[in-house]
Amino acid sequence: MSSVTHQLGPERYLRGGRELSLTLHVGRERVPAALLLPLEPRPAPAALLLHGYTSRKEQMLGSIGRALLDRGVASLGVDLPLHGERERGLDEASLRNPLALARQWRMALAECDAALAFLGGFPDVDGRRLAVVGYSLGAFLGVIAASRAPAVRAVALAAGGDLPINTPFTTLARTLADPLAAARKLAGRPLLMINGRGDRTVRPDQAERLFAAAGEPKTLRWYAGGHWLPPAEVEWAGEWVREKLGEARGTR
């Protein structure tokens, strides 16, 4: 795992909690992040939030992060490589370069590992009660990250699934990180998948392949729309994460 340190930034108070701006230093990379902390309980269960392609941490924090905060669950949002505050305008030719894609994919996974380690060690967080919540691209990364982190007790994936079949990107990506193999490694930890019946970005067959690969306990929840998650499903996912993280066990 890459070494990780952090630098705290401004703090602001929200309804039911507070938000800390911070920067994670993972190897040579500066990873902009924000941490939502509830007023109670202390220490709180927590989730790492991973956003989708072309998105940023604020979209996850303002949706599922807010739903979790209302339920006493902390959350850490990060800007993935080339997203949010790290957007560098990489051209399409570079994105089609297999070596460039491989570097970004490995970097993103290393940063997920480091973010989970930071979250589990933060003073106001209960490191025994961690979850990973990912949307779209974040769901692909999230299932891999969770499979590599035994401390993660629950995984919630929205608009996620297996890689598409028979594309050049699929062949490359599966050599770096295979979602199906990762799902098999979750080792009895609860998995929630929420997917749209009309999704044309991550199609229903992709969701079904990933769900089939995972062991129990697992839940696949369908909604009628496309790639964008309805607000009611965000709230449902927040309650599921709160329930699965449950009460603390033993002493820290």
| Sign of the CA dihedral running 85, 193, 205, 170 | positive
Whether residue 28 has pLDDT greater than 70: yes
Inside any domain, residue 251:
no
Q: Distance between CA 189 and CA 152 in Å, rounded?
A: 8
* β-strands 74-78, 125-135 pairing: unpaired
Inside any domain, residue 252:
no
The whole-number pLDDT of residue 36 equals 98
Inside any domain, residue 124:
yes
CATH number at residue 121: 3.40.50.1820
The whole-number pLDDT of residue 173 equals 72
Q: Distance between CA 229 and CA 66 in Å, rounded?
A: 15
Whether residue 70 has pLDDT greater than 60: yes
- SS3 (DSSP) at 48: strand
What is the tally of structural domains in the chain?
Answer: 1
**Tokens standing for residue 81:** 């490589």
Inside any domain, residue 142:
yes
Mean pLDDT in residue range 102-126: 92
Mean pLDDT in residue range 227-243: 97
Inside any domain, residue 173:
yes
Inside any domain, residue 146:
yes
Which residue from 169, 177, 106 is spatially nearest to 147, judged by alpha carbons? 177
Least confident window among 8-17, 111-120, 132-141: 8-17
Mean pLDDT in residue range 54-79: 96
Instruction: List pLDDT tens digits, range 205-219.
Output: 999 999 999 999 999
Inside any domain, residue 250:
no
Task: Let me know: does 4 contact 28? Beta carbons within 8 Å.
Answer: no
Q: Distance between CA 149 and CA 147 in Å, rounded?
A: 6
- Read off the amino acid at residue 246: G
DSSP at 64: I
DSSP code string of 121-132: H-TTEEEEEEEE
Q: Which domain holds residue 8?
A: 4-245
